[in-house]
Structure formats: structure tokens, C-alpha cells
Structure 1
Amino acid sequence: MRSDANIAGPMTDPVPGPRTESMGADVSRETPSPMDDTPIGRAAQLAVEALGRAGEGLPRPEQTRVIVVANQKGGVGKTTTTVNLAASLALHGGRVLVIDLDPQGNASTALGIDHHAEVPSIYDVLVESKPLAEVVQPVPDVEGLFCAPATIDLAGAEIELVSLVARESRLQRAIQAYEQPLDYILIDCPPSLGLLTVNALVAGAEVLIPIQCEYYALEGLGQLLRNVDLVRGHLNPALHVSTILLTMYDGRTRLASQVAEEVRNHFGDEVLRTSIPRSVRISEAPSYGQTVLTYDPGSSGALSYLEAAREIALKGIGVSYDASQAHIGAQKDPSMVEGIQ
């Protein structure tokens, strides 16, 4: 696979020069068509290669991995990370459920799931004790991907949960009662540390924290980590921070490399080698009700999420990630750039 093309993205790859292949018996297979010499042709080629790589599949976990995507700091890419990692894991052959716990319902929108007020949603599961199976919907265009949507009703759930029995573990009980086989459950949390986030932390075993490569990237993380410790000590002994994902990485700026190095020094092996670049394609995809994996499979953002999903899957079964096999080029390890002076 052409890693040089993936670094810059399909639209910036330089136009190749004249072809000089010999006109042998295999000319129809060896000589690219004129379309391959255009940006659109190359984008299509990258998309086919990316989806082909995803279709290789990955070892499935022995039991369902419940991953909580949390960071109370807004705008760090929680929802974007949740839906694109979920789509990537599904394209790798897994069965994946996204639980949208954010009242804004952005994850539901990005997955093309209808979530107006009358739609059965995760609110009904938490407050009305409706079975999770009755609100889960299959995601269009991505086989093996499902979503439990959020509606605006969820905005009042924080207050309504206060008076309910076992208010912190209602999501956990709903997941335990869900009988369909799943490899992964990804929970998209709201940008706060209220009862909705506590329900997610009680239900999950792993916490994935997206951290943007911007100034004040680590601001506020201390409170989240303290909450994780509190939940682990009192409600969920299995809970731990398993993954840190660097998002909005811009290799052209020195700030990004400094933040990446600081995060790696602080969290060590929990930080994925793969980082997610700042990408217009990633930002555009939700407006079409799609993840970047279906919106532009050949883009650097899509390829980065595919590699991040591969790394998470292999990490979960104790297999070390071979960075030499990644196809993201400079995106895969931003800490290798020049350090802080």
C-alpha cells in the first residue's frame, strides 16, 4: 500500500509522470487506466485498498469489551472518535454497539440514526427500564454496527435519575440483560461528570480518553481521573483507563508535537501510536449522516481511524501493535518529531 499517498491524503498526491510499462501479455492488469492518473481515480484506489484492509478482520475478544469514551472538556473529538472507531471495528469484522449518552445526539446523527423525540431511545432504558434490545437500531451502510440513540429527553435524565433506585448502575443492568452477541460496546458520554457519565463508568471496564493536540490539552483531566478512581473504588473495581487517543493532530505545528510528547510522557503505553489528524473530511461526514469511513474511505482521517481501531483490538487481546505495518506515515507517531527544547 502506498503510505506516501496516505500521508497527504488523496487530493494532494502529485500526479504521476508518464508510464513506461512494457506492452506484454499482462498489459491489461499491469497498465493503470487513465482514471488512475486523476485525483478522483487515486482517491477511489485508496478507498478500495482501505476497505480491503479493513475487511481482513481482526481477532475477536473473548468477551464483550465495553469502552467508555469520556472527557469532560468539550470539543476534543469524543463523538467523532466514538462513531469512527465503532465503524472501523465493524469494518474489521466485529459486531459493535454505540450507546449515545449525550443529549445532543450527535453520535446518532453521525450514524444516520433517526432520534427525534418520539423515537425509543437510551432515555427509555435509563429512566423507564425499557429493555436495551427495544431501542437498538442497525446503522445503515455499515454491517455489524448498531446504535442506541439519544433524544432530547435525555437532557432531563440527570434530574430524573436522582430519585431512582440503583441510579448509578441502570445502564450496566441494561447491558447485562442484552442478549445479542457483541464484540464491542462504545459509550459516548456527555461533556460533563454527572449521573449519565457515572452510569457509563459503572457499565464499562475500559475508559478511552480523546485528547486534542492543543494548548491546555490536559486541563480538567485530573477531575476525570479522580472520578474514575472513585467509581473503581466504590462501584466498578474493573474500571481502568486503557487508551489515550491523540486527536486533531497537525504535523505542521510545533505545538502539536509538544502536546503529543507531554501526553506520552504522562500516560506512557496507554497512548496509542496512531494519532488522528485534523481533517476536513472528518468534520464534513456527520452532516451527511455518515462516518468518515463511508464518506471518504481513502482520506487520511479514515485511514487513521482504521489503524487506531486495529491497535485497540490487538491491544485488547495482548498482541503488541506493529507500527511498521501502519499506513498512516507521519500520523502514526507524532512523538517521533523533534522534542521540546
Structure 2
Amino acid sequence: MGRIICISNQKGGVGKTTTAINLAASLASAERRTLLVDMDPQGNAGSGLGLKRDQLNGTIYEALLNGRPMKELIHSTELRYLHVVPATPDLTGAEVELVSHERREFRLREALRPLAKEYDYILIDCPPSLGLLTLNSLVAADSVLIPLQCEYYALEGLSQLTHTVDLVRQELNPSLKMEGILLTMFDGRANIANQVVDEVRGYFKDKVFGVVVPRNVRLAECPSFGKPIILYDIKSKGCESYLALGREIMNREGRKPPARKVA
């Protein structure tokens, strides 16, 4: 059975979609069958992997609202082992439309169930909110990965998100675990960035990933080319960080990545 990891933070601009795309590519480059599901109406996970909106043959909206099989919505990418289920702005209306549906919190879990044995990892890119789309993602997931920008205000939203995770665990998904907190956009020249790292590591201890993702121009550039960083600049610091994150996640489960880095 594959593992489902939800990538969530209700604060925007923390590197959430960047993490979703590049962690998925890192796992796929290690020949892990990986599916990235875009639950953000902005649809950046798909476009960041080269999908053109006018060429899509289906989106996650159709699975959530119309019951269309998820298999029919899967799109290939440049990486052999990486597939994606895209989103478009149509998904914005799903927050309201889902309210009248029975078991509305379980729609994504039920849609993903047939795919559980076909992928080693299913990553879910959540919207920057704590609405029904994020709730569906948390209910469907085995664990939640929280990207945290190395700035002061980022800490304020962290307690709210961890509280939400606790509530979901109590009420809807008892098996939900904390995959870890990923420190992103780190600038070692800024005192506040180092203070945030020390504070988060001091409080959350082993729940914080060892790798820290730096501010990196190449990471910012690659979405405009529709490529993950591993296909855009494999020698960049940003690429090294996400390859290290993929190894850290696989090594936690005793899975050793093969020697070659690109599928």
C-alpha cells in the first residue's frame, strides 16, 4: 500500500506547492511510483510540471463532485515515475458545492482508495486555507508535512494548523500522523531566520526534518518553465535540498534510493 502525504499550511507563500512539486519529483527520480494530487484551485502543481490548462483531460474537481474515477484524471509528466491529477480555478466552487454532499469530508479518501496499491507515494498539495478541500486532504492522508517559512509570522499559524491536525485525528482520521515540519526559504544572513530554526527545532525536536530548504533563485525560476528543479538545474542548492528531503522520507521507512538520480 502506498503512503499518502498531505502538504499543508494555511499561510500562503511558504513554499507549499514548491515542496509538493519538487518532493514528488525527488521521489520519482528514485524510481518510486509517485502521484501528485493538486487540491489547490490555483492549479500550480500541474502547471509547474508542464501541464497546459487547455490540454487537460480532467481535473480533481470531477472526482470530488461528479464521482469520476481518479484513474481517468491522471496525467503523465516528463519523469517516468511521476503522475499528476491537476486542478483548475473551477475547484474554488467545490468548497460550497461539497457542503450538501453526504460524507463530504471523505470524498478525496474514497476517490484515492482504488489507487492505493498502484503508487508508492501519493502527495496532496493543499490550498492555503483550512476549508473543506484541506479537510478532505487531511482525512485522506496517512501523514501531514508542514512547510514553514523561516520568518517570525510563520510561527503564528503553525499552532493553528497543528491544532486542526489534532482535531482531524480525534474526529475523522485517527491514524493521521505528523510527517514532519520542513523549514523553507532559509536565509542564513538573517538573524530572525536562525532564531526561527532554533525555536522550531527546540520545541518540535525530531518532528522537524534535518534538511532546510534555502532561498534559491533557481527554485523560483523553474515553475515558469514547467519543470521541477531536478530537470531545470540539478546542481542548484534548491535541488540538493529536495533530493535530500526525498531521501530522508524514504530512509525513515528503511527504503534506500537507488544510485541514479534522474528517471
- What's the TM-score, normalizing by structure 1? 0.73
- RMSD across aligned positions (CA): 1.5
Write the mapping of 1:1-341 to structure 2, written as runs, cut at 5 A. Answer: 63-116=1-54, 119-140=57-78, 142-178=79-115, 181-317=118-254
Contact in 2 for aligned 1:213/1:249 (Cα 8 Å): yes
Aligned amino acid, residue 148 of structure 2: I
Report how far residue 202 of structure 1 moved: 0.5
Give the whole-Å Cα distance in 2 for the aligned partners of 1:259 and 1:151. 34
Distance 1:295 1:200 in 2: 29
Residues 3 and 121 in structure 2, CA contact (< 8 A), matched pair in contact too: yes
Q: Distance in 1 between matches of 2:29 and 2:249?
A: 14
Aligned residue in 1 for 2:260:
none
Using the TM superposition, give the Cα deviation of residue 146 of structure 1 relative to its aligned residue in structure 2, in angstroms: 0.4
Query: Which is worse superposed, 189-198 or 242-251?
Result: 242-251
Residue type of the alignment partner of 1:295? Y
Shift of 1:229: 1.1
Range 76-85 or range 213-222, more displaced: 213-222
SS in structure 1 at match of 2:148: strand
Given residue 87 of structure 1, which amino acid in structure 2 is its aligned partner? A
**In 2: Cα distance, 1:272 partner to 1:231 partner:** 23
Q: Deviations for 1:198-239, whole angstroms, at most 9, x for unmatched residues? A: 000000010000001112121112221121111111111100
Report deviation, 1:168: 0.3
Partner SS state of residue 192, structure 1: coil
Q: Which amino acid aligns with 1:176?
A: R
Paired with 1:100 and 1:154, the residues of 2 have a C-alpha distance of 10
Contact 1:116-1:151 within 8 A present in 2 as well:
no
Segments of structure 1 that go 5 or more residues without pairing to the other structure are 1-62, 320-341
Greater strand share, structure number: 2
What is the CA-CA distance between 1:115 and the residue it aligns to?
A: 2.9
Q: Distance in 1 between matches of 2:199 and 2:140?
A: 30
1:223-261 CA deviation, whole Å, 9 max, x = no partner? 211211111111111002121100001122222111100
Higher relative contact order (CA 8 A, sep 6+): 2
Q: Is the 8 A contact 2:2 2:117 kept in 1?
A: no
> SS in structure 1 opposite 2:155?
coil
User: Whole-Å Cα distance in 2 between the matches of residues 206 and 72 of structure 1?
Assistant: 16
Contiguous gaps of at least 5 residues in structure 2: 257-263
Distance 2:46 2:121 in 1: 17
Q: Distance in 1 between matches of 2:4 and 2:254?
A: 14
Given that 1:117 and 1:151 are in contact with CA atoms closer than 8 Å, whether structure 2 keeps it comes out as no
Spell out, residue by residue over 1:161-206, the C-alpha distance to the aligned partner (whole angstroms, 9 max, x if none): 0001110001001111226610001100000000000000000010
For residues 223 and 206 of structure 2, what CA distance do their matches in structure 1 show?
31
1:131-188: CA deviations, max 9, x gaps?
0000011112x11000000012101000000001110001001111226610001100
**Structure 1 residues 235, 105: CA separation in 2 closer, same or farther (over 3 Å shift)?**
same
Distance across 1 between alignment mates of 2:138 and 2:194: 30
State the alpha-carbon separation in 1 of the partners of residues 205 and 254 from structure 2: 19
Q: For residues 276-313 of structure 1, what are the alpha-carbon distances to aligned partners after superposition, in whole Å with 9 as ceiling and x for unaligned?
A: 01000000000000111101011111011101110111
Structure 1's 259 and 173: CA in aligned 2 closer, same or farther, altered over 3 A? same
Change (3 A) 1:180 1:133: farther
Distance change (3 Å), C-alpha of 1:287 and 1:226: same
Q: Distance in 1 between matches of 2:253 and 2:147?
A: 17
The CA distance in 1 between the partners of 2:4 and 2:65, in whole Å, is 21
